[in-house]
């Protein structure tokens, strides 16, 4: 173009007046759209990485047939840690993966692709410790989905299934979409962060997990509930007060320390 001018292409999408209207978005679809918005915009709205991770788990449990779910996140050195779990059973299995240095979540993180087992009782040769423990815990199948941002994998999502229940054909692709949205929510704000900032965010997420575990112990000691129920109470308080889970956990731990002095 003369003078180095640039032509900007404008695309206009129109619809014929005779075309029937598209069906309205129903309640279930709207819930999914809101979930995707919250996952991708979580950090800009004040949520921490652990809160975004818990939104991902709740979305998987609510909108698919999965029984349990958990998320592992890598620290700056590439070592995986349990970030969030939907139940103590899922958390225990993920901790076992880390202790035994084997399991689908570790493989999905290392390979950068989904790793599945449709029958854990037949996969002891793949994961001798994990498969046996998972079957003993009532799990029949597992699917691990890497949490990727471009060519970088920051963790993995574990989907656990018990006996007598099957995933729908669309459930795993749906979980992959949610995992991708959550990954954006964890490592981005309005744009991709610089490497140093990303590293700091991931480390802060792992530090938050440690604080939440301490808060779970405080609530369990105070109420007599188990750790799973104590975690549900913390999450319910955070949702009710519209506060980050880390903030509620920190307040709980600080109150306990103040009472003990």
Q: What is the pLDDT of residues 73-121, one digit of tens each?
A: 888 788 898 888 888 889 899 999 999 999 999 999 999 999 999 999 9
With CA atoms as reference, report the closest residue to 72 among 59, 55, 85, 88.
85
DSSP 21: P
- Per-residue pLDDT band at 122 (split at 50, 70, 90): very high
**Residues in CB range of 256: below 8 A, 6 or more apart:** 218, 222
The pLDDT, as a whole number, for residue 14 is: 52
On the 0-12 / 13-18 / 19+ scale of CB atoms within 10 A, 1 is exposed
Distance CA 118, CA 155 (A): 22
User: C-alpha distances in angstroms, 61 versus 39, 81, 158?
Assistant: 15, 21, 12
The pLDDT, as a whole number, for residue 190 is: 36
Distance CA 55, CA 61 (A): 10
Q: In what order do the strands lie in the sheet with 152-162?
A: 80-85, 68-74, 152-162, 139-149, 115-117
Question: Which CATH superfamily groups domain 27-189?
Answer: GAF domain (3.30.450.40)
pLDDT digits (tens, 9 = 90+) for 191-228: 444 555 556 666 666 777 788 888 888 888 888 888 87
Distance CA 232, CA 63 (A): 19
Q: What are the two backbone dihedrals, phi and then psi, of residue 72, each rounded to the nearest 5 degrees?
A: -110, 145
């Amino acid at each position: 173009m003369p003078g180095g001018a640039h032509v900007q292409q404008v695309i206009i999408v129109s619809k014929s007046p005779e075309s029937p209207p598209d069906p309205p978005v129903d309640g279930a679809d709207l819930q999914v759209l809101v979930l995707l918005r919250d996952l991708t915009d979580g950090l800009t709205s004040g949520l921490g990485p652990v809160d975004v991770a818990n939104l991902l788990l709740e979305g998987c449990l609510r909108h698919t047939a999965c029984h349990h779910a958990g998320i592992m996140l890598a620290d700056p050195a590439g070592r995986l840690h349990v970030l969030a779990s939907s139940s103590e059973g899922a958390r225990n299995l993920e901790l076992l993966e880390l202790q035994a240095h084997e399991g689908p979540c570790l493989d999905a993180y290392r390979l950068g692709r989904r790793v599945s087992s449709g029958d854990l009782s037949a996969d002891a040769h793949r994961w001798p410790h994990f498969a046996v423990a998972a079957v003993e815990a009532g799990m029949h199948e597992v699917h691990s989905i890497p949490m990727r941002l471009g060519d970088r994998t920051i963790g993995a999502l574990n989907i656990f299934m018990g006996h007598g229940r099957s995933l729908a054909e669309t459930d795993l692709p749906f979980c992959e979409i949610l995992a991708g949205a959550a990954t954006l929510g964890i490592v981005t704000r309005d744009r991709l962060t610089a490497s140093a900032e990303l590293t700091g965010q991931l480390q802060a997420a792992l530090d938050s997990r440690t604080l939440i575990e301490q808060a779970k112990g405080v609530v369990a000691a105070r109420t007599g509930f188990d750790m799973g129920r104590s975690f549900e109470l913390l999450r319910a308080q955070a949702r009710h007060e519209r506060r980050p889970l880390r903030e509620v956990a920190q307040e709980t731990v600080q109150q306990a320390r103040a009472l003990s002095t």
